[in-house]
Amino acid sequence: MRKKWLGFAAVLILLAAVILSLYRMLYITPPEKSVKLFLDNLITSTDDRLYSYLDKHVDQEHPFIKLALNQKPFTGFKINETKAVAKDTYRPWITLYLKQSSITVPITLEKTAKGWLIEALPTVVHIPAAIPLIRSEDGIAQDQLLLDVAGDHILCSRTLPSDMIHHLVPSDIILVENQLVDIQPLKAMKLSKVMAASRRESYIEDRLLGKIPVDNQLPVYKMQDGTPAFRGSMAVLVGSTDSTLYCGNDGKGRALIAQDPIVPKDGIRVLIRNRDNSAIIHDQLIFTCDTGFTAETHVSNASFSFSAKDILTIKASEGGMILYHNGRQLESSPDRWYIRPSGQGMLRVANKQDGTGNTPSSAPYRGTMEVSYDGNGLILINEVNLEEYLYSVVPSEMPIKFGLEALKAQAVAARSYAVRCFASEGYAAYGAHVDDSTASQVYNSISEQSISVQAVNETYGLAAFFEGQVIDARFFSTSCGYTANFHEVWSDKNHNFPPKEIPYLVSKPQFPSNIPDLHNEENFRAFIAQWELDGYDRFSPYFRWWVTLKREELEAIIRNNLHRIQQADPYFVLTKKDDGTFVQESIPEETGQLLNIQVARRGQGGNIMELDITTTHGTFKVIKEYNVRQELRPVNYLDGGKPIILHCFDGSARENFPILPSAFAYIDLDRDSEGTITDITISGGGYGHGVGMSQYGAYGLSLMGYSYEQIIMHYYPGTELRNIYDYKREGSS
């Protein structure tokens, strides 16, 4: 009897399920009906009636609609349960069928005067370049996938079969409600050598493939322990010889993975400026060599050989470049040319010949010279081994009379600085890591010297590291007895000032004692007044200095420089409004009579961070040390005026010095009986920005018996020396 009742109950349950299923088939709720009609139109046709089911707040260009109509990933659908989420608001859950799987998404509807209309559609995210990560992570289930998107990790539902997912390969990905709907591996393009990269013009240039369009936020990865590690946006390593670019179907680069070491295989690439005017562009270049040399291009495979003392001239033309051998035209080509000496020869380069037809002699260059045409003129790059590059940087940056130990410290600092520049965008558009001026490091201003070569060789490969990365090794000529904090001298790329602090670039006393609170005006004046201070930099002529100007002379300086500085750095030259605030505003050409000038803010080491200038035409705030030094440059702009004299610590004098030696200075004003300014005296100490290693200070410390290692640790506290050729980089340098 009991078995009979159990069987009867089972039949009733089955019958109820069938009836419920038929009920669902024959009768659906009004919200579900609107969803069904919308999805029918969306998936099976492009009937414009599908837009009639949308609330006015839903854009007809919604990514979900565009995805369904353009790429047609959905083959069908099923409406699951529908829940009320508020009064007259319902949310059906929909199963959308793909070719090889399915996803579940919500659609929200609201009751309106026109009936049930769709208020919200599923979210869609298109990621042009994401890397599926193969490594397991805690808490990641089998049906989940971890993506690296420009260094950020995103966890999504892995709804597609595993054979569609190419681990560690940059892919074009579409997510709907964080569920994987489509994944297409990008096309790999092996690069021979990256010659240049430009974010502004959105391209990278390969030695053989030429210019390739890329996303201007191109994510760049470095292979590390078998996994791509994000280096940065558009952080393309110029000179890289083992990189792979991943492109979309349009041929545009979307991601790049590099295998390069911390130093490019072919060395550092130096942009050589025109020695006549410091411009980047050259009209012509003249090459000679103490041995034979060659000129060749890797595109057309043209090649020419020359004997010692031959003259190769390259001139810019509308079509690119024309080559002349001893004055006779040899070749015309738009391709990049590579000039290489034979054996151990060294090239010399000039921009013009003298009146006798001779080529002016320059310091000899090691390595390869590259000449390219950028549409305006010639660009000259010297590609040279990093250590050989330092052979010339060290004596160009520091007098060899400072001795071996100080020169070794300079070699370590210069090497560290150069390594940081490898991944910099600064000169990447020109195909270089650095230039040959003070904007980077002075290079080949002075020929190699035996003691500076020794300093480089005896510190071979050594750089300063902080927390696993090569440091930003700033250095300068002379301190006033205190260095400055990095964040109180420079702004960041987002124009924040002060920016984030750098732990190893901090304000420190440069004498065997300490004076606190140099940001205080009274304390700073008393400190600079100490001409007998036993500072490490006391051997520099700029350890202390002073200059006196007439009011009219300073007014001319302000008039000639303030507008120019404001145009170059508009965030940091401001105008005072009536309510007391300072804003960005165009500086008038006529700045008026000087009424007052005062330091508004100092850094921890005493450097001027803000300077207020009040004239009859307004009050202007000049921010950051370099702007202040430009604004107070002791140069006489008055017609027929005598040179302004800068008086130095060693008793020497400099006429019309091109920039205020440092921002470690204070200002005194002399006024007549009516309160009108007559003279201005600026008293200060040091030469340069004041951050990091003082070169004269390194010399002073070496005389006290400091080793180069101790000098580096003194100026960059908390760092350690490692060899870059042995070191496996933990992250981006």
Nearest-5° angle of CA 320, CA 325, CA 330?
A: 50
CATH 3.10.450.100 placement within the chain: 30-115
Report residue 24's pLDDT band, with 50, 70 and 90 as the boundaries.
very low
Q: What is the pLDDT of residues 235-245, one digit of tens each?
A: 888 998 889 99
| pLDDT higher than threshold 90 for residue 667 | yes
Report residue 20's pLDDT band, with 50, 70 and 90 as the boundaries.
very low
Specify burial of residue 102 (Cβ count, 10 A radius: 0-12, 13-18, 19+).
middle
Paired tokens of 398: 């520091």
- Is residue 194 within 8 A of residue 111, CB to CB? The reply is no
CA distance 253 to 244: 10
Paired tokens of 445: 């201003």
CA distance 345 to 326: 19
Residue 526 makes CB contacts below 8 A (sequence gap 6+) with none
Per the rule left: phi > 0, alpha: psi between -120 and 50, beta: everything else, 585 is beta
* Run of H or E residues at 195: strand 194-198
The residue with tokens 């070794």 is 408
In this structure, of 5-9, 119-123, 225-229, 364-368, the range with the lowest mean pLDDT score is: 5-9
pLDDT, residue 356, reads 45
Q: Which amino acid is it at 221?
A: Y
Percent of the chain's residues with pLDDT above 90:
72
Report residue 103's pLDDT band, with 50, 70 and 90 as the boundaries.
very high
pLDDT, residue 589, reads 84
Q: Which amino acid is it at 210?
A: G
pLDDT, residue 47, reads 66
- How confident is the model over 276-303, as a mean pLDDT? 89
CA distance 255 to 232: 11
pLDDT, residue 75, reads 92
How far are the Cα atoms of 272, 390, 559 from residue 397, in angstroms, in the given order? 16, 10, 33
Quote the pTM value: 0.84
Higher pLDDT: 335 or 623? It is 623
- How confident is the model over 170-193, as a mean pLDDT? 95
pLDDT, residue 542, reads 98
Report residue 376's pLDDT band, with 50, 70 and 90 as the boundaries.
confident
30-115 fold: Nuclear Transport Factor 2; Chain: A, (3.10.450)
| pLDDT higher than threshold 50 for residue 128 | yes
Please report which residue ranges of 45-97 form alpha helices under DSSP H. 63-70
Report residue 49's pLDDT band, with 50, 70 and 90 as the boundaries.
confident
Mean pLDDT of the chain: 90
Q: What is the pLDDT of residues 597-639, one digit of tens each?
A: 999 999 999 999 999 999 999 999 999 999 999 999 999 999 9
Higher pLDDT: 457 or 731? It is 457
| pLDDT higher than threshold 80 for residue 28 | no
| pLDDT higher than threshold 70 for residue 553 | yes
How far are the Cα atoms of 305, 428, 597, 640, 644 from residue 637, in angstroms, in the given order? 52, 37, 19, 9, 10
Report residue 540's pLDDT band, with 50, 70 and 90 as the boundaries.
very high
pLDDT, residue 227, reads 83
| pLDDT higher than threshold 80 for residue 18 | no
CA distance 415 to 712: 12
Q: What is the pLDDT of residues 273-285, one digit of tens each?
A: 988 778 899 999 9
pLDDT, residue 323, reads 93
pLDDT, residue 17, reads 52
How far are the Cα atoms of 384, 387, 418, 428, 612 from residue 436, in angstroms, in the given order? 13, 15, 12, 14, 34
